[in-house]
Chain A
Amino acid sequence: MRDTYLERFPDPWKEFERMSRLLSRIASNSGKEFPPVNVWVNGDNAVVTTEIPGVDRDKIDISVSGNTVTLRGSRPASDIKEGESCHRHELRHGNFSKTIELPFNIDANQVHAVYKKGVLYISLPRVESDKPKKIEIKSE
């Protein structure tokens, strides 16, 4: 006879709570750094999105290590020559670097990133060896 309780293991609600706790801690740390990010999760995949308009695609650097992903980039200041003047200067220029911690280890070989219309989308799957495993209990 199959045990329905064991089939539900690992408890998805506990897993959800664990992720929420981790993510809320992450959010409180990173919220003050540029660029602001949104993080989307679906089971074993996370998507990080961020708005970094005006950055050359070749100047965006994404590196993954364990459960963290680091974004680096730079945006040159508006070109102002001698004799020209800047009436408004609100755009954000210069270098940025931000590290985002995920609730699981990332499979660096499967990371996909797309930069379009000034928005960066990074898809970060969980590494296979890090996924929770269901242990089969055999009867003798």
Chain B
Amino acid sequence: MTDKRELQKREAELEKGVERTRETRVYAPAVDIIEKNNDIVILADMPGVDENSVDITLEKDLLTIYGKVEPEIPENHRLVVSEYEIGDYQRTFTLSDEIDREHIRATVKDGVLKLVLPKAERAKTKKIPVTGNA
């Protein structure tokens, strides 16, 4: 890991006028978004989250992921070095019409959420054969 990327998690942005009800920090998970031929794949780092603690909601064009983290604190231990903080995760993505919304799949493994957004049939890349004669 030679890059000098920021080690600290970025706090999630809140819409104006919206307040949180849970007394916890909320971070925007780092993501990779990869466009494949038939799907768009979103990978989001959400350490502390498993398949039971992540919520995915789709409202109109907005796809929101929310991961709830229950911090596991070593019993009877005192925190003496703190280089990272623990909190929930939230991030919202805008979807285009080209996504088949009925078939979005989500899995979580080792704290990484994987969302597979299949492209709608008409949005898939089509190879147009080029023929020699007009």
Contacts and interface: CB of A to CB of B under 8 A. Distances in A.
Interface of A: 19-20, 23, 26-27, 30-32, 34-42, 45, 47, 49-57, 78, 80-81, 83-92, 94-96, 115, 117-119, 121, 123
Contacts of B37: 83-84
B16 interface: no
Given A54-B110, A54-B112, A90 B47 contact: no
B32 A88 contact: yes
Contacts of A115: 110
Given A54-B45, A92-B1, A118-B112, A19 B80 contact: yes
B82 to A, nearest CB: 5
Nearest to A93: B1
Contact of B34 (A20, A80, A92, A123): A80
Interface in B17-53: 30-37, 43, 45-50
Interface residues of B, number: 37
Chain B contact residues: over half helix, strand or loop, or mixed?
loop
- 5 closest pairs, A vs B, by CB? A118-B111, A53-B111, A36-B83, A40-B77, A51-B47
A94 B80 contact: no
A52 to B, nearest CB: 7
A31 B83 contact: yes
A40 B111 contact: no
